[in-house]
Structure 1
Amino acid sequence: MTTIALITGATGGIGRALAHQLHAQRVRVVAVGRNLNRLDEVPADLRIAADTTTPEGAEQVMSACQQALGEVPSWLAHCVGSTLIAPLHRTRAEAYREVMRVNLDSAVYMLQAWIGARQSSPGAAVLASSVVARVGVANHEAIAAAKGGVEALVRSAAATYAAQGLRINAVAPGMTETPMTANMFKMAAMREGAARQYPLGGIQSAEQVAEVMAFLLGDGASRMTGQILAVDGGFTTIRPLVR
């Protein structure tokens, strides 16, 4: 039986990279995004335009999968996200609520809809967190709170649904080259400064993050659940010798 993978945020850098990788592995890909025209650029067996930051949008996605494919995807990769770089005292209430809506609300509603649709069938889900939820980074208070919520969601849901064979994990990427971060890397000095923060050096690609997400979904991670894997060049765990 061919595996079906549902990828939300499929038009973003990491979601698109994951779609390419899974499609190349002959996994049937369901690509979800807000803009159907942009989804045309993503390799997929089914494309769905929906807003997964609402419970109605998340349910719409699952219904569309059931109607078009006759079954619910056994894999879920939730790649919807945004960022906000601002100190807390300069973070407007509207900006804070938007960060929580896009990052945490979408994760809750999409995971809830997928779990409900699986109806006690085994499956695997991987969500996207961030290094800023794992180590204090200045001027990231709002997004750190949102991604910290995602990590707590993953651990609790993994405990609740392990008995029915659902594995739920997450990745926590460091600075990654995607369309969302493109403006930050326009100047060579900014790129070099960012790269020096990471023990392994350089800026990682969306493809490198997607490879870890694909691993967490697959059989190689069959004994892993409730885990948050940092994909960050060692940023959150090691301090190399300074020479």
Structure 2
Amino acid sequence: MTSIALITGASGGIGRALVNHLRAQGFQIAAVSRDLGRLADIDAHLRIAADVTTPEGAAAAVETCLGGLGAAPSLLAHCVGNTLIAPLHRTKPEAYRDLIRVNLDSAVFMLQAWLAALKGTPGAAVLASSVVARIGVANHEAIAAAKGGVEALVRSAAATYAAQGVRINAVAPGMTDTPMTSGLLSMPAMREGAAKQYPLGGVQSAEQVAQVLAWLLSDQASRITGQIIPVDGGFTNVRPLVK
């Protein structure tokens, strides 16, 4: 039987790249977004409109996948997220709560719904974190807190469900060229400045991040669980050579 992959945030840059990557490998794809219209050009077997920042929406996404494709998804890629670049003293409570809802609440509820659907069978999940949860970056306090929660969730859930044959990991991308970052990267000075922060240079593509997500879901990563894999051109561990 062909494995089913449920991809949330499928209308975003990394989500779209992952849909294409897994589709080419022969997986059945259930693509999820809050707005069904944003999935119109996604090459998926099933398109699902659901707000996975709520437990009801997350459960509905999994149930719709089961009903539409005939089985629960053995693979989950949770790519939902937004960001906020602001120092803590300028972060409004409503903006902070929205950030937690979109990044951390969605991860908890989606993982919970997916695990319930597995009913004790093996599976693999990968969630999206960020380099800002792994190294201090100025003006990123709120998103660092949210993604730090995601990373803690991954480690604990991986420990709980390892005996079931479930693997749970995350990727922590650095600056990636996606629609979410297009405003910043459209300015040549900002793109050049961002590229210089990374030891390997340049700004990575959504496809480069999606390749690591896909690998973590594959049998090639069958001995990997509870890990956070930085996809960041060396940003978190190496300092670039200044010339």
The equivalences for 1:13-24 within 5 A come to: 13-24=13-24
1:77 corresponding residue in structure 2: 77
CA distance in 2, matches of 1:221, 1:97: 34
Give the aligned residue type for 1:113: A
| Deviation (angstroms), 1:241 | 3.5
1:93 corresponding residue in structure 2: 93
TM-score (normalizing by structure 2): 0.99
Are the aligned partners of 2:198 and 2:240 in contact in 1 as well (CA < 8 Å)? no
Structure 1 segments unaligned to the other structure (5+ residues): none
1:140 corresponding residue in structure 2: 140
Task: Describe the superposition over 1:148-186 as per-residue Cα deviations: whole angstroms up to 9, x where unpaired.
Answer: 000000000000000000000000000000000000011
SS in 1 for 2:44: coil
Give the aligned residue type for 2:41: E
Are the aligned partners of 2:197 and 2:240 in contact in 1 as well (CA < 8 Å)? no
The equivalences for 1:29-40 within 5 A come to: 29-40=29-40
2:105 corresponding residue in structure 1: 105
Structure 2 segments unaligned to the other structure (5+ residues): none
CA distance in 2, matches of 1:118, 1:4: 12
Distance 1:182 1:214, change over 3 A: same
| Deviation (angstroms), 1:130 | 0.1
Give the aligned residue type for 1:40: A
CA distance in 2, matches of 1:240, 1:45: 43
The equivalences for 1:1-243 within 5 A come to: 1-243=1-243
CA distance in 1, matches of 2:100, 2:134: 17
CA distance in 2, matches of 1:178, 1:18: 13
Distance 1:193 1:240, change over 3 A: closer
SS in 2 for 1:181: helix
| Deviation (angstroms), 1:66 | 1.5
CA distance in 2, matches of 1:241, 1:71: 50
| Deviation (angstroms), 1:240 | 3.8
What's the Cα RMSD here?
Answer: 0.6
Identity of aligned residues (%): 72
CA distance in 1, matches of 2:96, 2:241: 38
SS in 2 for 1:32: strand
Task: Describe the superposition over 1:123-142 as per-residue Cα deviations: whole angstroms up to 9, x where unpaired.
Answer: 00000000000000000000
Give the aligned residue type for 2:111: L
SS in 2 for 1:31: strand
SS in 1 for 2:32: strand
CA distance in 2, matches of 1:138, 1:204: 21
CA distance in 2, matches of 1:240, 1:178: 23
Aligned length: 243
SS in 1 for 2:200: coil
CA distance in 1, matches of 2:182, 2:65: 32
CA distance in 1, matches of 2:23, 2:199: 32
| Deviation (angstroms), 1:242 | 2.9
Give the aligned residue type for 1:238: V
CA distance in 2, matches of 1:121, 1:81: 28
CA distance in 1, matches of 2:36, 2:216: 27
SS in 2 for 1:48: strand
Give the aligned residue type for 2:133: A
CA distance in 2, matches of 1:240, 1:187: 22
SS in 1 for 2:192: helix
SS in 2 for 1:121: coil
